[in-house]
Amino acid sequence: MTVKDELIRLFERNRGTFLSGADIADKLGCTRGAVWKAVKSLQTEGYNISAVTNRGYCLDGADVLSAAGIEKYLTPECGAKLTVYKETDSTNTRLRELAANGAAEGTTVVAGMQTNGRGRLGRSFFSPSDTGLYLSILLRPEMTAADAVRITTAAAVAVAEAAEEVSGRQADIKWVNDVYMDSRKICGILTEASFSLESGGLDYAVCGIGINVYEPEGGFPEEIRDIAGAVLTARVEDARNRMAGLVISKFLRYYRELSEDTFLEGYRSRLIWRGEEINLIRGSEITPAKLIDVDERCRLLVERHDGTRDCISSGEISIRRRE
């Protein structure tokens, strides 16, 4: 571990407290010159570190993603192994590379910006710098492809709970993979899998989660301006690290309890448009129906106009509220 890595961990444990250069050097086993150099490097990365003569250095109210910052909010039993990027093309892409090389379950890639973020159905995912949180978690489940939707739905509940805890506002879930606040989308989830030809089950799954923590400067792009929202309306100290730690911890707990369906009630209670008229959209085909609920396999229960009921798997189907 570099001096800079050790220093940010020390600052995170003592946020808001001044530490002298001599004390830091003693704790890290390095020179004061190395401390000064590491401080300067962290400042260029966006950390708000004050330097005051005769007092030392202090990490002020920054909201910069870091492994050390996230680790503070992970539960002891979480077991996640973090890699944090200021910027990457896609956290799912980075994690799939690690998975192919044998990375362990719980390996997690986090970024503050994506240059090639991806959503469902081949769509791009808007991932600007310093306002969002983008993370992917590696799983090696024993399940069939048909049950993989449960990973996505468990992740949606974890995000909803974390957003509520950080903001104090209610979150809703749009089947199957979107989280909303105040009728605006604050999160999208994309689960991708690699299949074993021998067993027919999953070799591994990558659960990718993109969250708008803040609205970007100048607002969202025009094409998503009417639907996109954010968890917070103003900057909050350490909010993205906290959000990441909460989401990872909550999701991995739900994942380990998938067979017990502990996430399902939280999903159902937040399901938007329950009892309302919707359109089922598959390509250019639009079918009207009433949204009833989700079943224990997280399939959407709908009632068609002739009174028949059906269970819809995610696949290539999306839903829209009928005006």
CATH number of the domain enclosing 221: 3.30.930.10
Min mean pLDDT across 18-22, 47-51, 247-251, 276-280 is at 47-51
Task: Evaluate if residue 122 carries a pLDDT over 60.
Answer: no
Are 181 and 310 found together in one domain? no
Quickly list H helices, 108-204. 149-167
Strands (E), the chain: 49-52, 56-59, 81-85, 107-111, 132-139, 172-174, 178-181, 184-195, 202-212, 277-282, 285-294, 300-303, 309-312, 318-321
90 is annotated as contributing to ligand binding: yes
C-alpha angle 307-309-310 in degrees, rounded to nearest 5: 145
What is the CATH number for 307? Answer: 2.30.30.100
- Supply the pLDDT for residue 84: 93
Task: Evaluate if residue 142 carries a pLDDT over 60.
Answer: yes
Are 156 and 253 found together in one domain? yes
119 is annotated as contributing to ligand binding: yes
Are 93 and 24 found together in one domain? no
Percent of the chain with pLDDT over 70: 95
Question: Hey, is 116 helix, strand or coil?
Answer: coil
More confident residue, 314 or 140: 140
**How far lies 98's CA from each of 108, 109, 114, 151, in Å?**
10, 10, 17, 19
Are 228 and 101 found together in one domain? yes
The whole-number average pLDDT for the span 283-300 is 93
Would you place residue 32 in the very low, low, confident or very high pLDDT band (cuts 50, 70, 90)?
Answer: very high
120 is annotated as contributing to ligand binding: yes
What is the torsion angle, in degrees rounded to the nearest 10, for the CA atoms of residue 311, residue 317, residue 318 and residue 320?
-70
- Does the reported pTM lie above 0.95? no
Domains held by the chain: number: 3
Would you place residue 315 in the very low, low, confident or very high pLDDT band (cuts 50, 70, 90)?
Answer: low
Model pLDDT for residues 197-238, shown as the tens digit of each residue: 566 677 899 999 999 999 998 899 999 999 999 999 998 989
Percent of the chain with pLDDT over 90: 71
**How far lies 152's CA from each of 20, 117, 253, in Å?**
46, 17, 14
268 is annotated as contributing to ligand binding: no
Which residues neighbour 249 within 8 Å (Cβ) at sequence distance 6 or greater?
A: 73, 74, 75, 78, 80
Is residue 231 a contact partner of residue 163, using CB atoms and an 8 Å limit? yes
How many of the other CB atoms lie within 10 Å of CB of 233?
A: 11
- Supply the pLDDT for residue 45: 79
Task: Evaluate if residue 311 carries a pLDDT over 60.
Answer: yes
User: By residue range, what is the domain housing residue 21?
Assistant: 3-59
More confident residue, 94 or 126: 94
Strand ranges across the sheet with 318-321:
309-312, 300-303, 285-294, 277-282, 318-321
Are 109 and 245 found together in one domain? yes
Are 52 and 159 found together in one domain? no
23-26 long-range contacts, Cβ below 8 Å, gap at least 24? 23/56, 24/56, 24/57
118 is annotated as contributing to ligand binding: yes
114 is annotated as contributing to ligand binding: yes
92 is annotated as contributing to ligand binding: yes
How many of the other CB atoms lie within 10 Å of CB of 301?
A: 17
Average pLDDT, the chain: 91
Are 219 and 290 found together in one domain? no
Are 25 and 108 found together in one domain? no
What is the CATH number for 48? Answer: 1.10.10.10
Q: How many helices (H) and strands (E) does the chain have?
A: 8, 14
Would you place residue 128 in the very low, low, confident or very high pLDDT band (cuts 50, 70, 90)?
Answer: confident
